[in-house]
Structure 1
Amino acid sequence: MAIILALCGAALLAGGVWLLTHGGSAYYVIASVLFLVTALLLYRRKPEALAVYAALVVGTLIWALYEVGFDWWPLAARGDVVFILGALLLLPVVTRELGRRSVADALDGRHPTAPSALSGTGAMLSGSLVVAVAVAATSWFVDLHRTEGELPGVRTRVAGDAQGIPAGEWQAYGRTQGGQRWSPLADITPANVSDLEEAWQFHTGDKPQPGDPKETTFEVTPLKIGERLYLCTPHQSVIALNATTGEEVWRYDPRIQGELALQHLTCRGLAYQPPGAAPAAAAQPAPTQATAENPNAPAGTASELSAQGGLTAPQERRQSGAPTEGAPARQEGGAADPGLPVATASAETAVCDAKLFMPTADARLIALDPETGHVCSNFGGGDGQIDLWTNMPNVNPGSYYSTSPPIVMDNLVVVGGTVLDNVSTAEASGVIRAFDISTGQLVWNWDSGNPNETTPLPEGQTYTPNSPNSWSIMSADPQLGLVYVPLGNQPPDQWGANRSENVERYSSAVVALDIRTGQARWHFQTVHHDLWDYDVPAQASLIDLPINGETIPALVQPTKQGELFVLDRRTGQPVLPVTEKRAPGGAVAPDHTAPTQPVSQASFDPKALREKDMWGATMFDQLLCRIAFHSYRYDGRFTPPSLQGSIIYPGNFGVFNWGSVAVDPQRAVLFGTPAHLAFLSTLVPRPKDETLVVNQQKPEGALPALNENFGAPYAINLRPFTSVLGLPCQAPPWGNVAGVDLTTGETVWMHKNGTVRDAAPFPMIPFEMGVPNLGGPIMTAGGVAFLSGTLDYYVRGYDVTTGQELWRSRLPAGGQSTPMTYRGADGRQYLLVVAGGHGSLGTKRGDSVIAYALPKQ
């Protein structure tokens, strides 16, 4: 024991001195001295060793309570090693040695009495340990992070669905184009949700394949239309199932082009065009109209403007030149990639009335017949597809495609796409395009790098390279004729010295586009001069809010930094107050930071980190996290990336991500899943553009070298802020569920959510610590919310009013998708969950589609 204590003391002394000299806590130096003194006294067989160690236990307890109060997990990290070693010191095998005469005792004629757990100095140590247990037990019944309350009941009765969707169906990613993720079905209630049982399970057969990128994920939310479910798999198969039995009806394989430069491989969902749609009135060139965003636009059609010389030429393209080491080769110019497969080549065709639209990983948009799965010959010039590489700069298959379902409205299908993040400065464009649903003809294009010109780009010209893109899910209001586009940042995310005026204007913003013309009617920027990868990651939720006796058509936009911006969706003006707060400066020159950043009244902005917020499984890895905290730059939220390395909190994982939130239009409330994780962001100078500086070796095949930022002066080393054990350096909880009153912005209740059963780097007991979530929630008119995206493998049901967890069911793999609910042909309400895992999160991969229902009556 003496050797163990001496080693502990030496380790604490070395780290503690460094910490103290850098302005940190003096505890570790004091504790190291007590460890070493105890070790020396044990070696000399002195009973006083137990008294000194009792002082260490009491001192540690006082210090821990001073720093974190009765907060169990931070208390445990500070005292676990001290307590365990103290208990071992009371074992008879140790205490007997303290009563044995040493040579010195024999020479002095002394006969020391051996202590025990109940006598002498052993009693002192026992007493200190009992006090520690009492404090720990008290903390088990105290949750300092819990907010209790009850959300209001129904305030506005919703007469039917505002977008005409039958109650038992789920016809868009968020059920409707409004993205509420709310169902009017009310069969499942807080009183009976615990009776849910598995009704059927289907396996897609989609398994990991050689050449997959790390972030290969099963993130789909299926559609329910009629008696069918429609879903897509990570490897891009489209499957139709019987919604009541789970039996496969048809399957379509688009035969994706091989050797793709993919950062992500996923399909979040399909889009649906109902039958009976008329030819698009906007199939002719769209007029360029004056709007709030573009007040000086001349009148007239696009063709008239072209004749008058009123069109703005696209910005000059950046030439990528020869490919660098690790950098993918690119094809310049506006020609489509000639290697794309043809959808009709390996499938039967049909003349489709209704259509399913499937975006593919090789940048096609394919139209399928919902009844048969046949490719629609009356789309895309007869081949059933659109080539999204048309008019794109920097053609590099796989570096651009639409991971999220498009929007279908007013006989148009509106498509965005993701570009490679932090790979190079010569990427594809983030252009948003609208195509005729009957012909596939391009009707308009909105390019944030050239925002005022929305007429179809002529052949041979290209869109603005590297313009901010929309990789997440759009929403739409058919009555207003607006499509709401969440925009990301221009790569590289953490370096913004060379951004254009338009890029600065539209980066990390939600933009309302006119469905007829593509013109921006308004935009709201959620982050100014974004250097943190704070893309607008989530679909906006549209909801009419009763505020001060008036019903306001609102839009709720969740963000990675934790804000819930509640805007008037007609104008983009804040419904709940938004203030500009001063932000840290000091970006690496010649870059800069914005002096202020917007903060909403409805906010999950976490408190700034402090040294005492550092955490670990033991006092030793916690000490290392404290040292790391003082080693990096941290000036609070919006600390810019640095050469030294900066703590970014919240990190780019996001408080909210693509799973978004759920809103109840009758109660005017929100169910959200805020997560809080810190990341480290370090700029790494690039000595030569052709070398790898943050990747140890070139990725296999066509996969990109992420975070190299070829063409920029700095690469970026970006990683979670974790301990040597792989656990977050910040104390839990890391993930919560929360209920918000949208009329006031108040967080009425918030509870930690999820266990570490499947999230730890080593097997752990399933402690309820609150873990991050990736995948959205849904709510129902029955007053129950569902969520499956936590890092442990469960689907859970919650009482919307209080947030209480009412039911959970174990999943066979990670559930990183958004559930949905529908009514089957047997009259029962079903809950559908996809469990397929997430490559980047390390959750277990799978191919399960699972339906739950209440027992048959």
Structure 2
Amino acid sequence: MRFPLSTLATAILIALVALFLAGGGLWLVSLGGSWFYAALGLGLLVCAALVGRAHPAARLVFAAVLAATLGWALWEVGFDWWPLATRGGLVVLLGLWLLTPWALGGLRRWDGARIALAATVLVCIGVAGAAMLRDPHVIEGRLQAQAGGATAPDSNVPDGEWHHYGRTLAGQRYTPLAQVTPANVSEMEVAWTYRTGDVRGPEDVAETTYQVTPLKIGNLLYLCTPHHIAIALDAETGAERWRFEANDGLDPNRQHQTCRGLSYYRDASVVETDLAAAPTCTARVYLPTSDARLIALDALTGAKCAGFGDNGTVNLWANMPHQQSGFYYSTSPPTIVNDRLIIGGSVNDNYDVESPSGVIRAYDAMTGDLLWAWDSGNPDRTTPLGPDETYTANSPNSWSVFSADPALGLVYIPLGNATPDQFGADRSPAVERYSSSVVALDIASGAVRWVFQTVHHDLWDMDVPAQPVLIDLATAAGTTPALVQATKQGDIYVLDRRSGQPILPVSEVPAPSGAVEGDWTAPTQPVSALSFAPEPLREKDMWGASLLDQLACRIKFRQLRYEGRYTPPSLQGTLVYPGNFGTFNWGSVAVDPVRQVMFAMPTYLAFTSQLVPSDEISADEQVNAGEAGLNVNAGGKYGVRMGPFVSPLGLPCQAPPWGYVAGVDLRTGTKAWMHKNGTIRDAGPLPLPPIPMGVPGIGGPLLTASGVAFLAASIDDYLRAYDVATGAQLWQQRLPAGGQATPMSYEAGGRQFIVQVAGGHGSIGTKAGDYVIAYTLPR
């Protein structure tokens, strides 16, 4: 008897799926994983044989297979839509096709087998519909709008201006302006758009990103571009007033090519209120460059300030060891406090064990003279070095943004790790003390006043990435000067900024052991009472677009070493979760000092790291092409191969959501609400449906006094507004490129503006651009 080609094709299709599941499933069982994939594959092989013969029992067997799949899926993930859908989707689609007469030799009658299969498919669809009606990942609640907070450091910044990266030295990303409210934010429209002309090109390094937050002083906005062009714009119209190009060129050795912002300073000794009549460079902005210069520019004209350093420039390579082009530069703006310009620098991770120093330096803001230098590898000496001396090589560096409290005389430094990040056998006691910590330095002398470490013996690249946020916090003991520190691992530390002592409890918990030969692990790691750290991953948390790539992720999960957070790096490969992309990164969090609340964007992506013995590194493999891939740690015992934990299709191996927005009451340390954030619209090479899965992002939020939060950051190209009290999304605007920069707000001409830079992010693949966009309410 001959059967239609459609029947034969159906049998072949089911057999191919079955063989993949059976073979991969047996491999997974051999690794100690779930038996279900192998069993499902065998069941589908039986179905394929019956379909090939157009046997009526094929539908009955498939109904049993589908029912078993549904039961297994519910047992593993319950009514969680995305994990449930990808477990059953492929099998349900095959079941729907088997219901057609063409799939089974033209059999059209509704016999018991066909009815059983139809009923099973309907049950699956009903379960899927029920799962879509609930979301087990959200927290619903409300932040109570209770005033009573005190003013923050440097609160003398005029309400309508933005003088520092986070508006004030407190780094709160909060504006006292309240013209835009939850009631009218939906009416916001584009006021003006400016294009810088600086767009990521084919010769740029992978991590070429546009992350700038502009400043606003007087009637001018000040910003920089990834290739270090400083620009001043008219705040009301967006018209260009001046432009300065640093001409720092391209260098393939650079791990990053970005500029997060400029810094502003005004000489307080000049009494004129009209800057136009004041001497040149009375007011100035400072531009750090990717070839390790710091340039002072007149704030009104963009001309170099000749009296600063050497004809307007300070050379940050001074006294540096191991001076390799592209291995040291400052990606973040310096902090200016008490007439001191305090700056750190970014050091390439894992390129070379002979790396420059992570020294923090303070310069006279007018002359550029070096006043003090704090080197975490030699922390007790802060006086300037002689011309033939060098700072400690490879000491922990600070590539992010600082905060400061002028009244206390302290500047707060978030510190990173020492290269190599994943092997710490040769670190000094000083490095062990200061690595991955927040340090309070005396503004006048650079001396250490206190240090709080967030990871002991960091082997995971868990730099403290975010600007510390200062707030005067209402506590049971009265108003306490507090510091809020977000970390990559998801802990939010709330400390007394006078002493570094925790306000919210911090405990030490046991950590996995078993580092590679010659290294060691810390027996415990700190955990804050306020934490967005995710639950440890399990095999059933693996995900994929279908059962097939989900199975591949399960096999990969079982092959990697993973014992929860802080599993040591290994030769076999280690799963790092949260990954070194961070639960939080340089975007930090936003804090309302009046309501005493925090708005945050936690992100969840697992990464992998594998130590590679230096004598096994192939000359044919591309190395040192960014933070991902193989970095050789030249001169060291091991290189490291790192990257996101993804399926063969390039999707995250862990189930969504991958990104949230959250609201926290800082007085109690409780999460009031937490919602999925962002869609997959821009997650592929072609536009996808804007499905709100909760996607990762990098960037920071903005809070307004009226209770509106603004955030772009996510991998879909939108700027969004949220009600801070409930987390409800109030408004969104499509961006012409990736919005991986923190928005800011100011007043001009009696109107409140919100400005978002849209230029994209190289390593997360968002669309490149050169846009500066201002939004406001209609007149």
TM-score normalised over the length of structure 2: 0.96
CA distance in 2 between partners of 1:273 and 1:184 (Å): 22
State the Cα distance separating 1:785 from its structure 2 match. Answer: 0.3
Map 1:780-799 → 2, pairs under 5 A: 780-799=704-723
Task: String of CA shifts for 1:382-428, please: whole Å, max 9, x gaps.
Answer: x0110111111111222111100001011110010001110011111
Pick one of 170, 178, 197 that aligns with 1:178.
170
State the Cα distance separating 1:92 from its structure 2 match. Answer: 2.4
Pick one of 832, 838, 848 that aligns with 2:761.
838
Paired positions, count:
764
Q: Is 1:379 the equivalent of 2:308?
A: yes
The residue matched to 2:485 in structure 1 has which SS? Answer: strand
| Structure 2: gaps spanning 5 or more residues | 1-9, 272-277
Q: Which residue of 2 aligns with 1:255?
A: 247
Task: Decide which moves more: 258-267 or 664-673.
Answer: 258-267
State the Cα distance separating 1:208 from its structure 2 match. Answer: 2.6
Pick one of 11, 25, 28 that aligns with 1:19.
28
State the Cα distance separating 1:158 from its structure 2 match. Answer: 4.9
Structure 1 contact 215–263 (Cα < 8 Å) conserved: yes
Task: String of CA shifts for 1:419-453, please: whole Å, max 9, x gaps.
Answer: 11100111110000000112111000000000000
Structure 1 contact 646–680 (Cα < 8 Å) conserved: yes
Code of the residue aligned with 2:764 in structure 1: it is L
The residue matched to 2:563 in structure 1 has which SS? Answer: coil
Q: Which residue of 2 aligns with 1:538?
A: 466
Q: Is 1:271 the equivalent of 2:195?
A: no
CA distance in 2 between partners of 1:714 and 1:535 (Å): 20
Structure 2 contact 396–415 (Cα < 8 Å) conserved: yes
Describe the shift of the 1:678–1:628 C-alpha distance in structure 2 as closer, same or farther (beyond 3 A). Answer: same
Structure 1 contact 86–129 (Cα < 8 Å) conserved: yes
The residue matched to 1:375 in structure 2 has which SS? Answer: coil
Describe the shift of the 1:566–1:277 C-alpha distance in structure 2 as closer, same or farther (beyond 3 A). Answer: farther
Task: Decide which moves more: 156-165 or 231-240.
Answer: 156-165
The residue matched to 1:216 in structure 2 has which SS? Answer: coil
Q: Is 1:194 the equivalent of 2:186?
A: yes
Describe the shift of the 1:260–1:384 C-alpha distance in structure 2 as closer, same or farther (beyond 3 A). Answer: farther
Q: Which residue of 2 aligns with 1:360?
A: 289
Describe the shift of the 1:26–1:761 C-alpha distance in structure 2 as closer, same or farther (beyond 3 A). Answer: farther
Structure 1 contact 741–748 (Cα < 8 Å) conserved: yes
Structure 2 contact 153–405 (Cα < 8 Å) conserved: no
Map 1:119-130 → 2, pairs under 5 A: 119-130=111-122
Q: Which residue of 2 aligns with 1:450?
A: 378
CA distance in 2 between partners of 1:853 and 1:572 (Å): 40
State the Cα distance separating 1:746 from its structure 2 match. Answer: 1.1
Code of the residue aligned with 2:166 in structure 1: it is G
Pick one of 148, 151, 155 that aligns with 1:156.
148
Code of the residue aligned with 1:586 in structure 2: it is G
CA distance in 1 between partners of 2:686 and 2:101 (Å): 32
CA distance in 2 between partners of 1:680 and 1:257 (Å): 33
CA distance in 1 between partners of 2:631 and 2:623 (Å): 12
Q: Which residue of 2 aligns with 1:115?
A: 109
CA distance in 1 between partners of 2:253 and 2:676 (Å): 38
Code of the residue aligned with 2:42 in structure 1: it is V
Structure 2 contact 149–473 (Cα < 8 Å) conserved: no
Q: Which residue of 2 aligns with 1:30?
A: 39
Q: Which residue of 2 aligns with 1:301?
A: none
| Structure 1: gaps spanning 5 or more residues | 100-113, 280-348
Task: Decide which moves more: 34-43 or 451-460.
Answer: 34-43
Q: Which residue of 2 aligns with 1:683?
A: 611
State the Cα distance separating 1:259 from its structure 2 match. Answer: 4.1
Map 1:252-401 → 2, pairs under 5 A: 252-257=244-249, 259=251, 261-277=253-269, 351-381=280-310, 383-401=311-329
State the Cα distance separating 1:160 from its structure 2 match. Answer: 8.8
Map 1:474-489 → 2, pairs under 5 A: 474-489=402-417
Q: Which residue of 1 aligns with 2:652?
A: 728
Q: Is 1:628 the equivalent of 2:578?
A: no
Structure 1 contact 350–374 (Cα < 8 Å) conserved: no
Q: Is 1:696 the equivalent of 2:621?
A: yes
Structure 1 contact 350–377 (Cα < 8 Å) conserved: no
Structure 2 contact 151–593 (Cα < 8 Å) conserved: no
Q: Which residue of 1 aligns with 2:12?
A: 3
CA distance in 1 between partners of 2:376 and 2:82 (Å): 46
The residue matched to 1:264 in structure 2 has which SS? Answer: coil
Structure 1 contact 351–378 (Cα < 8 Å) conserved: no
Q: Is 1:757 the equivalent of 2:681?
A: yes
Structure 1 contact 47–98 (Cα < 8 Å) conserved: no
Structure 1 contact 239–252 (Cα < 8 Å) conserved: yes
Q: Which residue of 2 aligns with 1:290?
A: none
Task: Decide which moves more: 809-818 or 759-768.
Answer: 759-768
Pick one of 220, 227, 232 that aligns with 2:219.
227
Code of the residue aligned with 1:246 in structure 2: it is G
Structure 1 contact 364–387 (Cα < 8 Å) conserved: yes
Code of the residue aligned with 2:698 in structure 1: it is L
Pick one of 847, 850, 853 that aligns with 2:770.
847
State the Cα distance separating 1:195 from its structure 2 match. Answer: 0.7
Code of the residue aligned with 2:78 in structure 1: it is G
Q: Which residue of 2 aligns with 1:523?
A: 451
Task: String of CA shifts for 1:331-372, please: whole Å, max 9, x gaps.
Answer: xxxxxxxxxxxxxxxxxx983111111111111111111111
Describe the shift of the 1:831–1:200 C-alpha distance in structure 2 as closer, same or farther (beyond 3 A). Answer: same
Code of the residue aligned with 1:219 in structure 2: it is Q
Structure 1 contact 278–411 (Cα < 8 Å) conserved: no
Structure 2 contact 623–631 (Cα < 8 Å) conserved: no
TM-score normalised over the length of structure 1: 0.87
Q: Is 1:828 the equivalent of 2:751?
A: yes
The residue matched to 2:664 in structure 1 has which SS? Answer: strand
Structure 1 contact 350–369 (Cα < 8 Å) conserved: no
Task: Decide which moves more: 187-196 or 149-158.
Answer: 149-158
Q: Is 1:574 the equivalent of 2:531?
A: no
Give the structure with higher Rg (CA).
1
Structure 1 contact 263–704 (Cα < 8 Å) conserved: no
